Amino acid sequence: MSETPAFDETEFQRLKAEIDAWVRGPAEVWAERIEAEGDVPRELYEELRSLGYMSLAAPPELGGRGIPFTRYLELMEIFSRSHGSIRMLAHVNNGTWRAMLPFANAEQREIIAKSVSGEVLVAFTLTEATAGTGADLRSTVRREGDTYYLNGEKHLITFGVKCDYWLLFARLEGTSGSDGTVALLVPNSGLPGAEVIDDSETMGVRGTDHAILRFTDTPVPVSARLGEEGEGLKVALGGFLLPSRVSVAMSCVGLAERAQELAIEYALKRETFGKKIAERPVIQAYLAENYADIAAARALVFEAARAFENGAPDAGPLSSASKMIAVDMLTRVTDKALQIHGGQGYWHRNAIERVYRDARAQRFEEGTNEIQKTVVARAVLAEAVAAKAAGAAKAEEQA
């Protein structure tokens, strides 16, 4: 691997200003088109690619800009103030490489490089209707020589319809838990026994395609596997889900900031009984609570980001904790922002209506808060048990 070049702060601040201007200008035009047509136009994808926004976080050897994770999150914060589908494109394209790279062979590295450049789109394909944590995957593969035969169903797969590849997770028949899980880089190219169902009619994040995928003895070459048999969840959880949860948490911060911005604009404009509602104590209280909520969540997100970047042992629970806190924050902030708009906020013509709908997606994206609480609780209890055991061992030594 080549060395990461020195970070150029001046260039980074220029890039931040450029993305902010794009989000407030062209992106809003795209947002109106997406909402009207219910689809993300290919031209938007190409525009994001030509601007270099698909390759912000990846290392230079893959054709990326090599922006460190914590600084990349500052850019995700800005993208998240835009339409949910625009944020989703930036989020996924700047993240899937991280899961694949440590396990990829030479041929797969070429595909990863093309995903970084935006030439191909890779869809993260873990979620199932009858499984919740990854360890309880029910999709299976049966190995016969150099071929796996894939059976099972995936759902809620973002970009699963239009993508070029599925980064897909299954388990060897007859295995349980993390044992026997496999990660496969599978082309979305009319494979025998593969059924792709467009399931894109959603409440928010309109325009992003979502798929239900069904596989019946679909042949996949063993060479498509990333890593070894039994490493599937290692690819999914450590490489993608952990940093992705932090990224989603930051997307909550960015969208909450947009909701607050819209609420402030409206409060300074709307008059009742001869006064701007911004002068009303109850409105001021809402805005103050939102400000504090956003600032607190943002601080935790960056703490989780630094833990991941530094390989800290508590990176996992901090990742889940940051998403848990940020999601609840976004719910409160968008609700108050909508309330400040009164009845006007209910109408589609006002931006806060879209923000309110888009905010609901983060409640389940990369795992619900119920799952995040399970992850955090297990870590907290494991730490307590380990500390107790260490204390008992030390006492025995001293006895």
Three-class DSSP category at 315: helix
Amino acid identity of 197?
I
pLDDT of res. 156 = 92
pLDDT of res. 2 = 45
User: Alpha-carbon distance 150 to 141, whole Å?
Assistant: 4
Classify domain 234-389 by CATH number.
Answer: 1.20.140.10
Q: Tokens 């996924």 sit at which residue?
A: 92
pLDDT of res. 241 = 86
Give the strand pairing for 165-172 and 147-158.
Answer: unpaired
pTM of the predicted protein model: 0.92
pLDDT in tens, 129-170: 988 667 889 999 999 999 999 999 999 999 999 999 999 999
Identify the CATH homologous superfamily for domain 9-117.
Acyl-CoA dehydrogenase/oxidase, N-terminal domain (1.10.540.10)
pLDDT of res. 133 = 66
Classify domain 122-230 by CATH number.
Answer: 2.40.110.10
Span(s) in the chain for CATH 2.40.110.10? 122-230
- How many helices and strands, by DSSP H and E, does the chain display? 13, 10
pLDDT of res. 5 = 59
Structure tokens at 178: 């993390």
pLDDT tens for each residue of the chain, 399 residues long: 445 557 899 999 999 999 999 999 999 999 999 999 999 999 999 999 999 999 999 999 999 999 999 999 999 999 999 999 999 999 999 999 999 999 999 999 999 999 999 999 999 999 999 886 678 899 999 999 999 999 999 999 999 999 999 999 999 999 988 789 999 999 999 999 999 999 999 888 999 999 999 999 999 999 999 999 999 999 988 778 899 999 999 999 999 999 999 999 999 999 999 999 999 999 999 999 999 999 999 999 999 999 999 999 999 999 999 999 999 999 999 999 999 999 999 999 999 999 999 999 999 898 899 999 999 999 999 999 999 999 988 888 887
Three-class DSSP category at 273: coil
User: Alpha-carbon distance 345 to 149, whole Å?
Assistant: 51
Span(s) in the chain for CATH 1.10.540.10? 9-117
Sign of CA dihedral 328, 329, 334, 337: positive
Span(s) in the chain for CATH 1.20.140.10? 234-389
Give the strand pairing for 210-221 and 271-272.
Answer: unpaired
**CB distance 104 to 231 below 8 Å:** no
Three-class DSSP category at 399: coil
DSSP state letter for 131: B
